[in-house]
Structure 1
Amino acid sequence: MLDIKDLKVSYGAVEALKGISLHVDDGEIVSLIGANGAGKTTTLHTITGLVPAQSGSITFNGHDLLATKSGKIVTLGMAHIPEGRHVFTRMTVQENLEMGAFSLKDQSGVGKGLERAFEYFPRLKERRNQLAGTLSGGEQQMVAMGRALMSNPTTILMDEPSMGLSPLLVKDIFSIITMLHAKGITILLVEQNAKMALSIADRAYVLETGRITMEGDANDLLHDEKVRRAYLGA
């Protein structure tokens, strides 16, 4: 389980997170929604050690993540799919995927990881020798997701997976997220497409200017009048 308590993060004099608390239980999809600048990406970056915390605690299956180096966190079973995909543009699709397996102690698992990635993303198998920088935005998102799977994680943090994609590709990406969940992977999903995020989640949190302002069953929030007005265009 991922458990965050009273987490505060500042960028100089600017308070990005003002004491947030949230938890993700094993096997859940939990969505974190909010406007630009609310602190969603900062939350994920702090979990994975890319941004230091000012105070509070983050534990993952009994491990103190604030005392764990970011390169070690992936070995605990957590993968992070960053906002903007961040593929290695001058490397092939397969080379990008193989980079996701750097933490595996037994490198014989790389082949199995590739099989798993290609099972979820058949299009990547067709383009395995193509430079990642020549792919479409949707295909690059598939590479980022496939790369995360290579470490055989139990938990995946996803940051804006639908950003910049056509509505059809958004549906494809969210279908894959639900497939991963069905396989038993726990997911913390940061997403501006609140309707899609809430429609597939078990629970959700609303983050506004560094504070959790609402939380609860995702379906309840999907039909909450305040959430609908603020995030669903209703």
Structure 2
Amino acid sequence: MAMLRVEDLHVYYGVIQALKGISFEVNQGEVVALIGSNGAGKTTTLHALTGLIPKQRGFVEFEGRQITKVPAHKIVEMGIAHVPEGRRVFSELTVYENLILGAYTRNDKSEISETLKKVYHRFPRLEERKNQRAGTLSGGEQQMLAMGRALMSKPKMIVMDEPSMGLSPIFVNEIFEIIEEVSADGTTVLLVEQNANKALSIADRAYVLETGKIVLSGDADKMLEDDSIKKAYLGE
């Protein structure tokens, strides 16, 4: 059974239809990429899954439970964490305070310090800067903070929106290595990424979105070799 199942999902912004009946699945332990051009509906898909915007039709199921109308904070409690586009860190708070906020839905308060140690182990720079205001970090460090904040909720699945946006090539490589490590530790990943080449290189499967519709799906390694995908999304 799929960990996440989306069926016939429709989303509107006023009279404009952003998602036109998309359906897809993410299995436990997978890295699944959503690729497509700007305006295709990728970010809207993640916002709909995590309860940030309403869904007009269709349903979303997580671990066999309907979450179509579940509020965002309850979805976090159920095990889905969202790393948003543009990082969205709390710039006036310290790195430490940002991370602790990531655990606000947890009931196992006594174990939060242990999770924090694991996050610091994965992101040593965050520990070095734990008392620094988040707004003073570099873009790459803020992306690490956004990912660390998501991991503080002990998620079963992380959805990530454009983690490489605005980063230098060195930071991009580092961020994608961390995504692979998170996946290897057993966390399922749904990845939206403009850098389709990079996304497909670490994904198990992928879906291609165009103007609110899924037009192609399959194994990521096969998509990397697909001439039509190369021309449309990989800059070849």
TM-score computed with the length of structure 2 as normaliser: 0.98
How many percent of aligned residue pairs carry the same amino acid?
Answer: 59
Distance (whole Å) between structure 1 residues aligned to residue 39 and residue 69 of structure 2: 26
Structure 1 stretches of 4+ with a deviation exceeding 6 A read none
Offset at 1:13? 1.1
Q: Deviations over 1:195-231 (max 9, x none)?
A: 0000000000000000000000000111111110011
Consecutive unaligned residues of structure 1, counting only runs of 5 or more, are: none
For residues 115-194 of structure 1, the aligned pairs below 5 Å read 115-194=117-196
Q: Deviations over 1:140-188 (max 9, x none)?
A: 0000000000011110000000000001100000000000010010000
Question: Which residue is equivalent to 1:68?
Answer: 70
Distance (whole Å) between structure 2 residues aligned to residue 131 and residue 64 of structure 1: 38
Distance (whole Å) between structure 1 residues aligned to residue 194 and residue 108 of structure 2: 37
Secondary structure, counterpart of 1:117 in structure 2: helix
Question: Which residue is equivalent to 1:26?
Answer: 28
Secondary structure, counterpart of 2:48 in structure 1: helix
Offset at 1:66? 1.1
For residues 41-60 of structure 1, the aligned pairs below 5 Å read 41-60=43-62
Question: Which residue is equivalent to 2:93?
Answer: 91
Tell me how many residue pairs correspond in the alignment: 234
Question: Which residue is equivalent to 2:221?
Answer: 219
Question: Which residue is equivalent to 1:4?
Answer: 6
Distance (whole Å) between structure 2 residues aligned to residue 198 and residue 83 of structure 1: 19
Code of the residue aligned with 2:222 in structure 1: it is: D
Distance (whole Å) between structure 1 residues aligned to residue 187 and residue 92 of structure 2: 30
Distance (whole Å) between structure 2 residues aligned to residue 189 and residue 214 of structure 1: 16
TM-score computed with the length of structure 1 as normaliser: 0.99
Distance (whole Å) between structure 2 residues aligned to residue 120 and residue 230 of structure 1: 35
Distance (whole Å) between structure 1 residues aligned to residue 18 and residue 117 of structure 2: 40
Code of the residue aligned with 2:147 in structure 1: it is: M
Code of the residue aligned with 1:64 in structure 2: it is: Q
Q: Deviations over 1:72-100 (max 9, x none)?
A: 00111110000000000000000000000
Code of the residue aligned with 1:50 in structure 2: it is: L
Code of the residue aligned with 1:79 in structure 2: it is: A
Alignment equivalent of 1:202, drawn from 184, 201, 204: 204
Distance (whole Å) between structure 2 residues aligned to residue 167 and residue 22 of structure 1: 31
Consecutive unaligned residues of structure 2, counting only runs of 5 or more, are: none
Distance (whole Å) between structure 1 residues aligned to residue 228 and residue 111 of structure 2: 47
Question: Which residue is equivalent to 2:113?
Answer: 111
